[in-house]
């Protein structure tokens, strides 16, 4: 049996607790140039206290100084430039009409949910709806992590750790329940990659907590 320090529940609790010291943001003002971002969604509460539940972990894995641009792509880009927007838009359409032509012939195969496919006149307005949804219902926190190798590894490990928590659950009205990806539904995260990656080690968890503290103090 694993010790409480390394249990999935304790790891998830410590991730949420560490991030709670950072400001919740709705714009890129003051965001570091390099790091990880953590999205929160209105109505989603973590099971380790009364705070919001992390619903997505993200990165700018191949660029230097690209965190702000990555966040802007989510808020005002398009579904082919942001997997997050594609997932949100698909879930939004499916909740409204599971048989919408933009989602056919099956989940993940319609032109809205396929990467690179163009929007049609019917689903093009969904881009504006997704932008509005993000502005009104989502906020985020950022942790400054300059090193690309460390940042990429921590992204994978954090997603895997959060997905393994046996306590954190989605609310009954969580939009992600309508996502085409079963990995999103099962992990209760707006992430489909890295769910099965190796979770944080104790050393990595402590390192992450230190990085959050450094971000908080500006050191």
Confidence of residue 7 (pLDDT cuts 50, 70, 90): very high
Residue 92 tokens, joined: 């939004």
DSSP string spanning 120-189?
A: -TTTTTHHHHHHHHHHHHEEEEEEE---HHHHHHHHHHHHHHHHT-SS----TT-GGGG-S-HHHHHHTS
Encode pLDDT of 75-97 as tens digits: 999 999 999 999 999 999 999 99
Above 70 in pLDDT, residue 179? yes
pLDDT at 123: 94
pLDDT at 6: 66
**Domain chopping of the chain, boundaries:** 4-81+137-217
pLDDT at 50: 79
pLDDT at 198: 95
159/56 Cα distance (integer angstroms) = 8
* Average pLDDT, rounded, for the chain: 94
Confidence of residue 178 (pLDDT cuts 50, 70, 90): very high
Q: What is the DSSP-derived secondary structure letter of residue 55? A: E
Question: Collapsing DSSP states into helix, strand and coil, what is residue 43?
Answer: strand
pLDDT at 218: 84
Query: What would the mean pLDDT of 52-68 be, rounded to a whole number?
Result: 96
Q: Which residues contact 14 (CB under 8 A, 6 or more apart)?
A: 205, 209
Confidence of residue 3 (pLDDT cuts 50, 70, 90): very low
Residues of the chain above pLDDT 90, percent: 94
Which has the closest alpha carbon to 164: 1, 9, 38? Answer: 9
Above 50 in pLDDT, residue 1? no
Above 70 in pLDDT, residue 5? no
Above 80 in pLDDT, residue 10? yes
Above 80 in pLDDT, residue 8? yes
Residues of the chain above pLDDT 70, percent: 97
Contact 170, 177 (CB under 8 A): yes
């Amino acid at each position: 049996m694993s010790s409480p320090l390394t249990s999935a529940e304790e790891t998830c609790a410590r991730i949420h607790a560490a991030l709670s010291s950072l400001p919740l943001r709705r714009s890129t003002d003051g965001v570091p140039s390099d790091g990880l971002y953590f999205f929160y969604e209105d109505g989603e509460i973590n099971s380790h206290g009364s705070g919001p539940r992390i619903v997505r972990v993200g990165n700018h894995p191949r660029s230097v100084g690209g965190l702000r641009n990555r966040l802007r792509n989510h808020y005002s880009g398009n579904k082919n430039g942001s997997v997050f927007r594609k997932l949100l838009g698909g879930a939004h359409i499916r909740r409204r009409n599971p048989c919408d032509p933009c989602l056919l012939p099956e989940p993940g195969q319609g032109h809205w949910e396929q990467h690179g496919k163009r929007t049609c006149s019917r689903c093009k307005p969904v881009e504006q709806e997704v932008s509005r949804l993000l502005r009104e219902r989502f906020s985020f926190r950022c942790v400054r992590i300059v090193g690309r190798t460390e940042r990429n590894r921590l992204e994978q490990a954090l997603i895997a750790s959060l997905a393994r928590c046996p306590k954190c659950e989605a609310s009954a009205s969580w939009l992600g329940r309508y996502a085409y990806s079963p990995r999103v539904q099962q992990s209760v995260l707006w992430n489909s990659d890295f769910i099965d990656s190796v979770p944080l080690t104790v050393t990595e968890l402590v390192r992450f907590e230190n990085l959050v503290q450094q971000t908080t103090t500006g050191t």
